[in-house]
Amino acid sequence: MNVLAPLLRDGKADFLIRADKDIVVDDDGFDDPMSFEDRCDEISDLLEQRLLDDARDLLQDLLEEFPHSAEPLFLMGTYLTMDHWRKIYNPS
């Protein structure tokens, strides 16, 4: 951290990335398996980008797989709120 602190302070580094040992690159070029946290982060990113339909599809899969976990439920609440406001302000 002593090496990184000056870079962070001077604005030459924005964030740190931790490499996960459980990520394996298959022949198809996709990283498998995605961790639970990575999947939640992906959904959060989709919500932030307002790609609600894509987020909904991933959320439904995550909720089926982890029905009692708080993170997917929170993300679904966020999705439902955003979708509600989208329908009010941008009716199709």
Asked if 24 and 32 touch (Cβ cutoff 8 Å), the reply is yes
Domain-located, residue 5: no
Per-residue pLDDT of the chain in tens (92 residues, 90 and over written 9): 566 677 767 776 655 455 444 444 444 444 556 788 899 999 999 999 999 999 999 999 999 998 888 999 999 999 999 999 988 888 66
Confidence (pTM): 0.60
Instruction: Provide the domain limits for residue 65.
Output: 21-89
Residue 18: partners with Cβ closer than 8 Å, 6 or more residues away: none
Domain-located, residue 42: yes
| Strand pairing category for 24-25 and 31-32 | antiparallel
Q: What Rg value do the Cα atoms of the chain yield, rounded?
A: 17
Neighbours of 44 (CB within 10 A): 15
The total number of structural domains in the chain stands at: 1
Asked if 50 and 85 touch (Cβ cutoff 8 Å), the reply is no
